[in-house]
Amino acid sequence: MARESLKSKRERVLQVCELMNEHYPHPEPALHFDSPFRLTIAVLLSAQTTDAAVNKVTPVLWEHYPTIEALAGANVDDVAEILHSIGFFRTKAANCIKCAQMILSDFGGEVPRTMEELQKLPGVGRKTANIVMNVGFGLCEGIAVDTHVFRIAHRLKLSNAKEASATEQDLLKIIPQEKWTSVNDQWIRFGRETCSAQRPKCDVCFLADICPSYKK
């Protein structure tokens, strides 16, 4: 594909957003949560792990540690035992506890509402902070770039950046801000159902006409 102008890329990504809205009119996060704190922990746990696997362990975690205070005072081995079925469970167990402790010590027991403060929490990077801001507080300051969003942005040739953070910046330049809020949930569903990592279903893809990576 010849080098595409920013204008053309913006027009194409608008079509992508419209088609995503048609196919996924009610994007919803796959992780189960009922508070910003539980969302923060669930997203932290979801790194390198499926949302379904996280949804299996979080009910047990909340049964044992129903409050921020309870998790802050937990024993790391006990939490690791609950999380043992998900990847990196020991590190995540330690981060969950430290995260709860910092929310109590530095933020008055409330999950902070800025990207900068959220990223101070142990185990919370920009992707997690974006999701907490967007889904937990309805404040959209960016686009959470996980493995699906990264892959789709590259297949659609909307970014050729090697890092997730640079890919996010490329997307923020071409996607209108009012559309940022839906991107993560819609693109994740699309990535799971159609544009999968190993076998993209180009033959049935609703973006086939505008995708430079379409393969017969």
9, 34, 51, 127: which one is catalytic? 127
C-beta of 181 vs 213, nearer to ligand SF4: 213
146 annotated active-site = yes
* Given the residues 146, 170, 179, 185, the one annotated as active site: 146
> Where do contacts with ligand SF4 occur on this chain (CB under 6 A)?
155, 194-195, 200-202, 205, 207-208, 211, 213-214
Q: What is the 3-state secondary structure (H, E, C) of the chain?
A: CCCCCHHHHHHHHHHHHHHHHHHCCCCCCCCCCCCHHHHHHHHHHCCCCCHHHHHHHHHHHHHHCCCHHHHHCCCHHHHHHHHCCCCCHHHHHHHHHHHHHHHHHHCCCCCCCCHHHHCCCCCCCHHHHHHHHHHHHCCCCCCCCCHHHHHHHHHCCCCCCCCHHHHHHHHHHHCCHHHHHHHHHHHHHHHHHCCCCCCCCHHHCCCHHHCCCCCC
* Least gap, CB of 133 to ligand SF4 (angstroms): 27
Quick one: 72 or 153, whose CB is closer to ligand SF4?
Answer: 153
Closest distance of CB 180 from ligand SF4, Å? 19
As measured in angstroms, the least distance from the Cβ of 190 to ligand SF4 is 8
Catalytic sites, residue numbers: 127, 146
